[in-house]
Structure 1
Amino acid sequence: MIMQNRDQQFYANQSKELRQKYKKAKDGSSTSEHNPKRDKAQKVLFIIMVLYSIILVTFVLLLYWVRDFRYYCFNVLNDFNEQGQYIGAFYIGIIGLWFVLTGFNVVLYDILAGFLIHPFWFALITVSLAKFLAKYIGFLIGRYILRNFIYTAMNENIYFITCYLATERKPTKVMYLIQFLAIPTIFKTYACGLFRITHWEFLHPTFFGTVVWAGFWVYMGSNLDSLSDVLQSGDTSNYVPLWLKFTMVIIVALIVYYFIRLTNSIYTEIQNDASLADLSHILEKEDEEQEKLLIYNQINEETQIQEDDENSNNT
């Protein structure tokens, strides 16, 4: 309960600050001020992102360009699978969990898991459960370990502020959109822990999105007669039907359009809040002036009554 109240207070303060910065940025005013602590956090975050990007890109290039590396990955999973159905599924699931936590989540893993683990429903449960647990762990790390550092580094960034306020306003919708966008997994895990959403608002979109994505690729893997084509070329896009590619392009376009409308509505809402705050301030001033006038008149009346009484006594 104490931690929950502390989180609510933290996000309330954060929302107020980010709304002010968002309004200034949209109005064309500068929001940045010299802050050594923020500058240091930004430099550290930039270095981490560069190093991580180099490692991730290297891994992806090896996976898709080097055939021997793909066979090595397959042999690792296959060695575990040969130890037995349940033991193999457990270790393959652990590897999938590690992939998601490190942001190395790749389609090829789902296909290999679907090919190696039988039957299909058991492979789907294994992959979905491993990925779902990894995403929730990442969410918790983002919320309780990385949150303060990221806010210090990013609370002047208009894109971060926009995502934060959009998620705050429509948490469930935005979380479903994030889960179905083909974006790096790290943005579906650690980054979500930074937003003002409840655990439940994160869990059910994440579970649904994870099962749908995993179900598609695991099904593809379970229906392969041979992995030779996949391991030889490393190209998994051939397994995506043309109609699905076209549908995904349309969905992405609709999501971008929705985000634009949502951010515009956020700006309007913040402008209205500012106008109401100004109006409230004016009304408070008028009430204060009215109250002062009433007190002044009351004092004058009392003074006049005293003077009349004194005159009467003197008479």
Structure 2
Amino acid sequence: MSDQTRDQFFFENQSKELREKYQKAKDGSSTSEHNPKRDKAQKLLLFIMVLYSIILVTFVLLLYWVRDFRYFCFNVLNDFSEQGQYIGAFYIGMIGLWFVLTGFNVVLYDILAGFLIHPFWFALFTVSLAKFLAKYIGFLIGRYGVRNFIYTAMNENIYFITCYLATERKPTKVMYLLQFLAIPTIFKTYACGLFRITHWEFIHPTFFGTVVWAGFWVYMGSNLDSLADVLQSGDTSNYVPIWLKFTMIIIVALIIYYFIRLTNSIYTEIQNDASLADLSHILEKEDEEQEKLLICNQANEETQIQNESEPYSTN
């Protein structure tokens, strides 16, 4: 069996199971059953998430609260940039790739890259390519490395089920919307590998979102005369115009509204599928009854004809 056929069977079985659980959850029925394998996977996943969250929060706090740590990060990137335009860009890009793969994707990196790599278009190319490659690698790891484990742990979670079914129904729209939600990058990479989407449905929304976000912050960095204010305060929000902040709030509100409508339509669709299945089952039973009745009538007619013909054969 080819990998494509195996994936098709995997996603079809997944989709059928999650649709049944989604309907039960929306109807108020319990979907959970005792499953030692699932319980073990959930505990392990919870441990990994807690440990990762502690490391990530520690890094972010160091980055935004400790000035010396910011200067250390800047000096590392600056040392690479001094080795030459292309060599420096390569190493800075590799650091960006590592940031995204580990989920440590921070705005300050884009600003520093824009400040250190010249011209702007070359900096944008470096940052966008590194981040896109990292996201696609994360997608592949999610799809072919950890999807069975994550699915086992999360297939009772209504939020996971909702995201899965929403992505299955509107893959391109959901992927584009995810790019503009302020959620950790790890949910835009590894998690997407669990959903029923094609490689192309992941690639073009991710590439577009990566270039747009990187373009904004790299441009901010390339237009700075000095990094003193950024490195001193660590606050990058001052570089976001007020109109853009309001725009992002409106976009997030619209995305949430769209997701609510999409999940409601999914529930309606699942109910209709269930109704059609019940109707089909009823029709099948009716057909069986009609066939039995027809066979019985034919048998009665044959018996009657045979009884009518017996007196003539006796004479």
Taking structure 1 as the reference length, the TM-score comes to: 0.99
Aligned to 1:69: 69
| Percent identity over paired residues | 90
1:267 corresponds to which letter in structure 2? Y
Q: CA RMSD in A?
A: 0.7
1:36 matched to 2:73? The reply is: no
How is 1:79-98 mapped onto 2 (pairs within 5 angstroms)?
79-98=79-98
Instruction: Give, in whole Å, the separation in 1 of the partners of 2:251 and 2:298.
Output: 68
Residue 72 of structure 1 aligns to a residue whose secondary structure is helix
1:180 matched to 2:180? The reply is: yes
Superposition deviation, residue 312 in structure 1: 1.7
Aligned length: 315
Once the two structures are superposed, what CA deviation does each residue of 1:183-234 show, in whole Å capped at 9, x if it has no partner? 1000000000000000000000000000000000000000000000000000
1:134 matched to 2:145? The reply is: no
2:128 corresponds to which letter in structure 1? S
Aligned to 1:265: 265
Superposition deviation, residue 314 in structure 1: 1.1
2:156 corresponds to which letter in structure 1? E
Superposition deviation, residue 7 in structure 1: 0.4
Q: Which runs of 5+ in 2 are unaligned?
A: none
Aligned to 2:117: 117
1:47 matched to 2:47? The reply is: yes
Aligned to 2:57: 57
Aligned to 1:296: 296
Superposition deviation, residue 303 in structure 1: 1.5
Instruction: Give, in whole Å, the separation in 2 of the partners of 1:308 and 1:286.
Output: 33
Aligned to 1:274: 274
Instruction: Give, in whole Å, the separation in 2 of the partners of 1:307 and 1:135.
Output: 82
1:60 corresponds to which letter in structure 2? V
2:57 corresponds to which letter in structure 1? V
Aligned to 1:285: 285
Once the two structures are superposed, what CA deviation does each residue of 1:52-106 show, in whole Å capped at 9, x if it has no partner? 0000000000000000000000000000000000000000000000000000000
Instruction: Give, in whole Å, the separation in 1 of the partners of 2:21 and 2:309.
Output: 62
1:194 matched to 2:194? The reply is: yes
Instruction: Give, in whole Å, the separation in 2 of the partners of 1:246 and 1:180.
Output: 14
Aligned to 1:212: 212
Instruction: Give, in whole Å, the separation in 2 of the partners of 1:149 and 1:313.
Output: 78
2:118 corresponds to which letter in structure 1? H
Moved over 6 A (4+): none
Instruction: Give, in whole Å, the separation in 2 of the partners of 1:35 and 1:182.
Output: 34
Residues 56-65 or 301-310, more deviating: 301-310
Instruction: Give, in whole Å, the separation in 1 of the partners of 2:143 and 2:19.
Output: 20
Instruction: Give, in whole Å, the separation in 1 of the partners of 2:266 and 2:198.
Output: 20
Instruction: Give, in whole Å, the separation in 2 of the partners of 1:203 and 1:295.
Output: 59
Q: Which runs of 5+ in 1 are unaligned?
A: none
Instruction: Give, in whole Å, the separation in 2 of the partners of 1:223 and 1:88.
Output: 19
1:19 corresponds to which letter in structure 2? R
Instruction: Give, in whole Å, the separation in 2 of the partners of 1:3 and 1:10.
Output: 10
Aligned to 2:238: 238
Superposition deviation, residue 311 in structure 1: 2.2
